[in-house]
Amino acid sequence: MSAKHRNALGRGLSALLENNGTDITGAETKPLHSISEIPISQVQANPFQPREEFDEVALLELAESIKVHGIIQPITVRKLGYDSYQIISGERRTRASRLAGLTNIPAFIRLADDQGMLEMALIENIQREELNAMEIAYSYKRLVDECNLNQDQLGERVGKNRSTVNNYMRLLKLPDNIQAALRDAQISMGHARAIINIDNSDEQQYLFSKMVEDGLSVREVENLVRAAHERKDEEIKATPEAKKKAELPVTFVEFQKSLSSKFETKVKIKADERGRGIVSIPFKSQQDLKRIMELL
């Protein structure tokens, strides 16, 4: 992708829409970069749409509103060729318009390549409040994997700091059933963030079951996680290996804590009496390794 294209993305969706560098075809029957009425039958769904589910009741309510007031905010589409358009943003409005029986829909017509489509669609949808946490997390992952962005670049694109981006990306490490519960609003983002601080998947499942059955608050789950860590720390301190670790010089212990904080994983330092040793940085997946390499 060109530097010009990336800079446009950095300024937001509107800037990219105005970037003629994304044009791929000159075929047009409607004026580009302006709002036109187009047949809704010629509008195709966006294959890059990150949202998997649409609330049917909310769609029907929007359809009724459209019958009365029409489309307040035009959708944005890209031109595929003669009489053919693909949604960049406005999937929900388009579906509701079909339910309302509209034959035409107001649209801002744009030409864009697939890379631009992907970034525009993901960024546009991430900025919408109705996306659930898992949809946001998967959208972030697609921007990282498919658009070759690191987490700092991703944060710039979506207007979030690296910590916020990382919190969403970490949700993808949760077991599938816990991700589904978060997606379906059975648990909150706070619950999920507490559970993910437990490394053992069996312990995660136990805590998740207890949380759902007992209706635990986020604070109560955080307290259980903290207690679990304290028990584990006590068990570790009681082992012979832990006693050896206690002999690690204070300076090395501080280095170990600092590195663990920086890489967000449990870094281990082993050193002999002469100060020679090994630094071990564990990772949980290829994506986690990529994240660590970027920090290095």
Residues carrying an active site annotation? 91
Q: Any bridge partners for residue 35, and if so which?
A: 108
What one-letter code names the amino acid at 170?
Answer: R
Q: Buried b / exposed e across 46-66, counting CB within 10 Å, b at 16+? A: bebbbbeeeeeeebeebbeeb
> What are the two backbone dihedrals, phi and then psi, of residue 100, each rounded to the nearest 5 degrees?
-75, -10
Specify burial of residue 168 (Cβ count, 10 A radius: 0-12, 13-18, 19+).
Answer: buried
The set of residues, in sequence order, having a beta carbon less than 8 Å from that of 287 and lying 6+ positions away, is 141, 144, 145
Nearest to 87 by CA among 75, 98, 72: 75
Cα 67 to Cα 58: distance, rounded to the nearest angstrom: 14
Cα-Cα end-to-end distance for the chain: 25
The set of residues, in sequence order, having a beta carbon less than 8 Å from that of 93 and lying 6+ positions away, is 62, 66, 71, 73, 75, 105
CA-to-CA dists, residue 54 to 65, 91, 93, 115, angstroms: 17, 10, 11, 25
**Tokens coding 256:** 């170990």
Nearest to 51 by CA among 114, 131, 115: 131
Cα 245 to Cα 252: distance, rounded to the nearest angstrom: 10
**Tokens coding 191:** 């619950």
